Amino acid sequence: MSVSLKGRVAIVTGAGGGLGRSHALALAAHGARVVVNDFGGRRDGREPCNEAAGRVAAEIVAAGGEAIANGADVSSFEQVMEMVDLAITRWGQVDILVNNAGILRDRTFAKMELDDFRAVLEVHLMGSVHCAKAVWEPMRQQGYGRVVFTSSSSGLYGNFGQSSYGAAKMALVGLMNTLRLEGEKYGVRVNCLSPSAATRMTDDIMDAGQLALLAPELVSPAVVALCSDDAPNGIILCAGGGSFERSFVTLTRGVQFEGAACAGAIIERLDRISDRAGEMIPHEGPEQAAWEMAAGRAALVA
């Protein structure tokens, strides 16, 4: 099936290069008008420069699309609001938000400075919060919206030396899980992307073969799908190298104790508690407690 985004207005953050650039070009190729946002600077977030966003916007225009460049710092809610106002003033609406902006300040947790930890959270987590908050009411009022948060395998599964990055990326899954519930009746669908791609974030840890296999362009079809009219709601879509997978947060059926459990008994039965046979995917948080109460009552009756 073909996907058309004609008439849609998209904001892509961190779109001056790498994945963001690829996402912006892909959305434009499918007909969207794009705000190309990038604060610029080094990958640690220092020494900002807005030239990259302008180059990508020019690429889109040269290919026959519509785009404007924007240099807002997503860690500033005021600047983000100005960016959204710019899009609405220019094109009358915002339909799509792709939160891609990010920085890296990798160190082991023992050596990590807390200021660096906070800086990573401010861009990845709060930057995504700011952008989502700025478009949320306009999307609700128009009865349509697509929001994509960029998570990561470092958050979903962990990665040595990336405690700050991993914490921010997993937090975005939690944010998605609530916003997809709150936005559903207003036609706003919220999803997470977990990409594997060779960008300047990874250019010092990948060899030439890996760089070729993990081109950003191989990830962007996933973004287009999550921004389409037929997009799902509340999923973690993984993408890289032309392969696409889905990650889940699941709940095992567990073990029910008769009476009060002791810590030792939990350790002794941890293998049974961890047994994934018949595991569940709760639609929302309260379903965990509902399962536990039902299972507890059944254990008492038995």
Q: Which residues are known to be catalytic?
A: 165
Beta carbons of 273 and 254 less than 8 angstroms apart: yes
| Residue bearing tokens 């299972």 | 295
Beta carbons of 237 and 220 less than 8 angstroms apart: no
Separation of alpha carbons 11 and 272, rounded Å: 46
The number of CA neighbours under 13 Å toward the Cβ of 90 is 20
| Residue bearing tokens 């921010």 | 168
CA 44 to chain centre: 19
Residue 138, both tokens: 């306009």
| Residues 209/210/214/215 CA torsion (nearest 10 deg) | -50
Going by C-beta distance under 8 Å and a sequence separation of 6 or more, which residues neighbour residue 231?
146, 189, 191, 225
Sign of CA dihedral 40, 93, 191, 197: negative
